[in-house]
Amino acid sequence: MADDATDPADDAEPSALEEAFHRYQENGLRMPPVPRELVEELDEFADWRWGNEDLNLEDREGFLDVARGPGGAAEVAFGHVGHGVTSWWLCYRLHLDAVAVYVRLAYGGVYEDTDANLPGINAIAARLEDLIPAAAAAKAAGRFRGGHRLIVVIDEKQDSFWEIAGGPGGPQASADPIGAAMTFLSQPVFNDPPGTEAGAP
Amino acid sequence: MSFTGSKKKPSPEIKQGTKQGTKQETTARSSRDSTSGTGGGHYTQDVDDLQDVLTGIPDRPAKSLMTFEELQAKIGSAPKKNRLFGAYKMSTRYKAIGEKLAAVKATLANATLGQITAEGGRKNFESALNDQLDDIVTAGQRYQKKHTGKKGRAVQDLLDDVERFRREIPGTLDALTSEDDALPEGLPLDQAMVAKGAGIAPGKLKGVSPRHCDFVKFNDGTRAGPSKELGKGSVNTVHLVEHGGVERVFKEEQQTDTSQAWAPQFMGIDVKNDPRYGNRNVAGGVLGKLLGTKVMPESRFAINDGKVGLLMEMAPGKTLAQLLKSKSLDEDSFSPKALASLQQQLMDLEACDILTGQSDRHQGNYMIDVKGDQVIVTAIDNDFAFPNTDKVTFGDKARIPLTFPGMNSIKNLPALMSKTVADKIKAIDFDRDVAASFQGLLDPAEIRDAKTRFLALRNHVINLEKDGYVVTDWEKWRGPPPERMTAAAFLTSGDKDKTSLFSRDFGKVLDL
C-alpha cells in the first residue's frame, strides 16, 4: 500500500456512539453504558444529547411511570441539559427488561466545582456497568421476588432511591442506591424483600 | 446600501458607549462630518462608502457626548466642594458645566424611541436637546473666560464634542428610528445608541424589558479585559465579565428554551417563543428589593461580545448542593448568630419564592456564604418563576404556593417570617408599588397572578403577626408555651413545617 493511501474507514462519518464517547472523553467524563442492542439506533438529537429516541432527559416522573409498569420498550438516552447559570445536569435514562436507571448529576454549572465532581460522576458510570448485567442475572435467577424490574434513581436535583417495581417494599431512599441495590441483588433468593427483611423494625 | 441596514461593528479601536475615541480619531470624525453637510442622508452615504473600503469606520450612533468624568480627567481636578455648609460656594462655573452635561444625559436617558417617533416628538426632542447643548456651550464659554490654559483647552475639547454631537443628532435619530431595523419603542435613547453601535439586531431584544437595559454602563467598551467563558459541557452562553472592578456573570438571553425542563411548561411559560427568562430574573430582583431583602440578586440587561443578556453580580460562597457534596456542613458549621441569620434569609427566600411563584428552588439553586457570624444567602437561576395560571397545564392552579409533581417549589406558606419582610408586605400597595415595577417585565396575566399570591401572603402575614410568628430576633425568638421552641426547632417540627426550605435542606445536616 502506498504511503499516502487512506483507509476508507478514516473518511467515514463517526457514529453517534463515537461522537458521544469522544465528547464525554474530551471533558474527562466516562460515557454511561449503552446496551449493545440499542447501539445501532443511537442518534444525536441536539448538541450534547443522544438516545435511541428523542427522549426528555429531565422527565423523571414520566420515566418512572413507565418503569414501574411491566414491559415497555428498551430505551436509552443521555447528555447534558439545563438552564440558567447553574441548573445544569448530566443525565442518563435507561429502560430495559430487568433494570431501569435514572441519573441526574450536577455538572458544568458556573458555581459548581466540576473538576472536583468528576471522579464521583465517573464512578457512577463505571458502577452502572456492573449493575446492569447484575440486575439481568438477578431477575433470571428469580431474585426480584415477584417484582419485574429493578429501578435505581440517582438524582442530585431531587431524591435518590432504589426499588423493585412490582415487588414488595416500595422505594428505598439511599445515599448510595447502586450499592444498596447491588447488595440486594447479591442476596440469596430466600431473603425477605427490601424493607421487610427478617428482624427489620 | 443603506446605513441602517449595516450590521458592521465598530472597530475595536473606537470604543462604544461612554468611552472616548482618541483625539486623532475625533479629528478624523470631525473631518468627515464637516464634508457631510447638514443632512443625515449625505453623512450616512459617506459612512457606508467608507466602511466598504476602510476598517475602523464606526456606525453613526457609536459615540455619545463626552461625560463629565472624562472632562474632569482632562482638566485634572474635580470641582472644589462648597465650604462652611455652603456659605462659600466654590468653582460654580466648573460645576455648572457638569450640571448642564447631566441634563443632556438625563434627556437622552429619559426619552424613548417611541416618544421620538410619536407625532411631533422628534421636533420637540431635538429642540429641547439643542437648547441643552446651547446651555453647555454657554457654561463652557463662561469657564473659559477665567481659564485660558490647559483647563480652558480641555473645556474647548468638550465644546468641540458638543458641536460634533449636535451635527450627528439628525443622522443618529434617523438611524435609531428607521423602520427597517427598529429597536423596541420603549428603549431609552442613550441605550438605543449603544445597542445600535454594538450591532444589536432588534430580534435580540425580543423579550427583553427596555426599561431594564443598562447598555450604557455595561457594554464591550466599558468592560475591563476580555470576557471569560464559564461552565462546562453545553453551558456555552455564560461568561464572567468585569466592569468597574466588579465581577459579574453574563448570560446571553435566549429566545427559545431548549432545556427540556418540565417546570416552565407546567407553569404556562411559552418555552418555544417567549420564555423571557431574563425578565423573570429581573422581576425577582425587583421584588426582593421591594421586600427589603438581598436574597434575590438585582440584575439587568447588558451587552457582552455583541450579544444581549442578563448581567448578575457573582454570588459569594457555594451552592448548598456543593457544600453538602463536599461534606462541608455539619451541626458545628453555624454559630448561633450565623444560624439565626441563615434562618431569616431562608425564610425571606421562601417569601420571595412564593410571591414569584418559583418552581425550581433545588439545592444547587442558591448560594451560601458563611464567614463567622455572617451568612449570605443568594438565590440564583430565578428563570422558572411567574406562572400564568390561564396556561398552567398541571397541578392545582388555585393553590398558593403553586406546586407541581417532581418540582422543587416551596410547599407551604411560611411558618415564620422576619419582621422586616412582614412590615414591607403589609406596607406595599401591589398596584402602586409592584405592578408598576413589573411593567415591561411580565405580561398582564403574570402580574395578575403575582397579585393573587401577594394578597394571600399578606393575609397570612397578618395571621402570623397575630399569633406571634413574626420574628424580630431569630436567635432569641421562642415559640408558644409550653414547648417554647427555638426558631430552628420550630421550623423543623411537625409534618406541616417539614417542608420549609430550612427544614428540607438543613434539618438533617444540622441534626435538628
What pLDDT is attached to residue B14? 27
DSSP tag of B9: P
What pLDDT is attached to residue A200? 40
Which pTM was predicted? 0.83
Burial of A41 (0-12, 13-18, 19+ CB in 10 A): middle
Q: Which of A86, A83, A19 is nearest to A47 (CA)?
A: A19
Which residues from B are below 8 Å from A58, CB to CB? 259-262
What is the phi-psi region of residue B355: left when phi exceeds 0, alpha when psi lies from -120 to 50, beta otherwise? alpha
Q: Whole-angstrom Cα distance, residue B120 to residue A163?
A: 72
Q: Whole-angstrom Cα distance, residue B487 to residue B512?
A: 11
Q: Whole-angstrom Cα distance, residue A78 to residue A81?
A: 9
Angle at B191 between CA B188 and CA B197, to 5 degrees: 135
Residue B447, classed as helix, strand or coil, is helix
**pLDDT tens digits for B102-143?**
999 999 999 999 999 999 999 999 999 999 999 999 999 998
Q: Which of A116, A119, A87 is nearest to A104 (CA)?
A: A87
Q: Whole-angstrom Cα distance, residue B409 to residue B342?
A: 19
Chain A residues bordering chain B (beta-carbon distance below 8 Å): 27, 46-48, 56-61, 79-88, 90, 106-114, 116-117, 120, 156-158
| Alpha-carbon radius of gyration of chain B | 27
Distances (CA, A) of B491 to B139, B152, B330: 63, 67, 18
Backbone angles phi and psi of B270, in degrees to 5: -80, 90
Q: Which residue on chain A is closest to B379 by alpha carbon?
A: A86
Lowest mean pLDDT among A100-109, A162-171, B66-75, B432-441: B66-75
Which residues from B are below 8 Å from A83, CB to CB? 257, 259, 261, 277, 381, 383-384
Residue A194 above 90 pLDDT? no
- Which cell numbers in the block locate residue B189? 435613547
Q: Establish how many alpha carbons lie within 13 A of residue B135's alpha carbon, considering only the half-sphere containing its beta carbon.
A: 16
- Which cell numbers in the block locate residue A117? 465532581
Are the Cβ atoms of B362 and A158 closer than 8 angstroms?
yes
Q: Which residue on chain A is closest to B264 by alpha carbon?
A: A83
Residue A163, classed as helix, strand or coil, is strand
Burial of B388 (0-12, 13-18, 19+ CB in 10 A): buried
Between A81, A107, A156, which is nearest B260 by CB? A81
What pLDDT is attached to residue B84? 62
Q: Whole-angstrom Cα distance, residue B66 to residue B73?
A: 11
In this prediction, residues A174-178 reach a mean pLDDT of 96
Q: Which residue on chain B is closest to A45 by alpha carbon?
A: B258
Residue A1 above 80 pLDDT? no
DSSP tag of B432: I
Contact B442, B283 (CB under 8 A): yes
What pLDDT is attached to residue B47? 47
In this prediction, residues A152-162 reach a mean pLDDT of 95
Q: Cell 485634572 identifies what position? A: B76
The verdict on B367 touching A (C-beta cutoff 8 Å) is yes
Q: Whole-angstrom Cα distance, residue B152 to residue B456?
A: 63
Q: Which residue on chain B is closest to A29 by alpha carbon?
A: B233
**pLDDT greater at residue A141 or residue B354:** B354
| Alpha-carbon radius of gyration of chain A | 19
Q: Which of A16, A75, A47 is nearest to B259 (CA)?
A: A47
Q: Which residue on chain B is closest to A91 by alpha carbon?
A: B260
A154, β-bridge pairs: A103
What pLDDT is attached to residue A101? 98
Burial string for A1-28 (b: 16+ CB within 10 Å, else e) reads eeeeeeeeeeeeeeebbeebbebbeebe
Cβ-Cβ pairs closer than 8 A, A with B, add up to: 120
Are the Cβ atoms of B234 and A111 closer than 8 angstroms?
no
Best mutation site among A54, A56, A110, A159 for testing chain B: the one with the most B CBs within 10 Å?
A: A110
Q: Whole-angstrom Cα distance, residue B60 to residue B62?
A: 6
What pLDDT is attached to residue B295? 98
**pLDDT tens digits for A2-49?**
455 566 556 678 899 999 999 999 999 999 999 999 999 999 999 999
Q: Cell 448568630 identifies what position? A: B337
In this prediction, residues A84-93 reach a mean pLDDT of 94
The pLDDT profile of chain B, 512 residues, written as one tens digit per residue, is 222 323 333 333 323 333 333 333 333 333 333 333 323 333 344 445 544 554 444 444 446 788 888 888 887 777 767 666 666 665 678 888 989 999 999 999 999 999 999 999 999 999 999 999 999 999 999 988 988 888 889 889 999 999 999 999 998 899 888 877 789 999 999 999 999 999 999 999 999 999 999 999 999 999 999 999 998 888 878 999 999 999 999 999 999 998 888 889 889 999 999 999 999 999 999 999 999 999 999 999 999 999 999 999 999 999 999 999 888 898 899 999 999 999 999 999 999 999 999 999 999 999 999 999 999 999 999 999 999 999 998 878 889 998 887 778 888 899 999 999 999 999 999 999 999 999 999 999 999 999 999 999 999 999 999 999 999 999 999 999 999 999 999 998 877 555 789 999 998 888 87
Lowest mean pLDDT among A133-137, A184-188, B121-125, B439-443: A184-188
Q: Chain-centre distance of CA B456, in angstroms?
A: 28
What pLDDT is attached to residue B509? 87
What pLDDT is attached to residue A189? 60
What pLDDT is attached to residue B87? 62
What pLDDT is attached to residue B344? 97
